[in-house]
Amino acid sequence: MPYKLIFMKSLIYLFACSFLLLFSCERVKNKTHETINAGGEVVGKSATEFVEGISEGIDETLEAKIKLSPLLVENGLATGKFEITDNPLGGKDNLLTLYLIFNRDFNEILRIKVYDKNGLETGRAKLEINEIKGDAGYFDFTFGKRVQIENRSLIVIE
């Protein structure tokens, strides 16, 4: 009889240990699953930020730059967004649409010079502008049909 009692106690301990082992394995499995999901989310976000960073870096590298003369800045002129498109009258990438902000009354002729990535002048345009303080808007600067404002061009406004 003592053997049966020892056997029963051993069997109960074995079942209890098995139950605890299974319970803790399930808990480990759930925690592992949660960790993997959270890690995957972090990796996904990081990968997305990485790809967006590359895209922004390429855009910044290839984008034309606008530079206002110090005198125009002093006279209250500021720039915003710009776009380079094809002129409907002919030519490729020879129409500059520029958002201008007037922090003072402004009545001048703006002259624009375009330089390629090597610093060579490739075109000029001018536009007479008469605006009052607080105004802002988009203005089109038309270049000749042969002018093409390229990636990495410098656009100087005087």
pLDDT digits (tens, 9 = 90+) for 25-49: 666 667 766 766 666 665 556 656 6
> Which of 62, 95, 110 lies at the terminal end of a domain, its last residue?
62
DSSP letters along 24-52, please?
A: HHHHHHHHHHHHHHHHHHHHHHHHHHHHH
Report helix, strand or coil for 89. coil
Same domain, 44 and 97: no
> For residues 62 and 40, is the Cβ–Cβ distance under 8 A?
no
Domain ranges, residue 33: 1-62
Name the residue with tokens 């303080």. Answer: 133
**Same domain (yes/no): 108, 122:** yes
- The average confidence (pLDDT) of the chain is 82
pLDDT digits (tens, 9 = 90+) for 102-133: 999 999 999 999 999 999 999 999 999 999 99
pLDDT over 90 for what percent of the chain? Answer: 58
- The count of domains in the chain is 2
| Residue 154 CB-density burial (10 A; 0-12 exposed, 13-18 middle, 19+ buried) | middle
Same domain, 87 and 31: no
Examine the domain organization and report whether 69 and 13 are in the same domain. Answer: no
Q: Where are the alpha helices (DSSP H) in 63-124?
A: 70-74
Residue 153 sits in a domain of what CATH number? 2.60.40
Residue 124: other Cβ atoms inside 10 A: 15
Do 70 and 111 fall within a single domain? yes
User: Are residue 76 and residue 104 in the same domain, yes or no?
Assistant: yes
| Whether residue 58 is found in the same domain as residue 84 | no
Q: Please tell me whether residues 74 and 7 are part of one structural domain.
A: no
Residues 50 and 102 both lie in one domain: no
Q: Please check whether residues 118 and 133 belong to one and the same domain.
A: yes
Residue 22, SS3?
helix
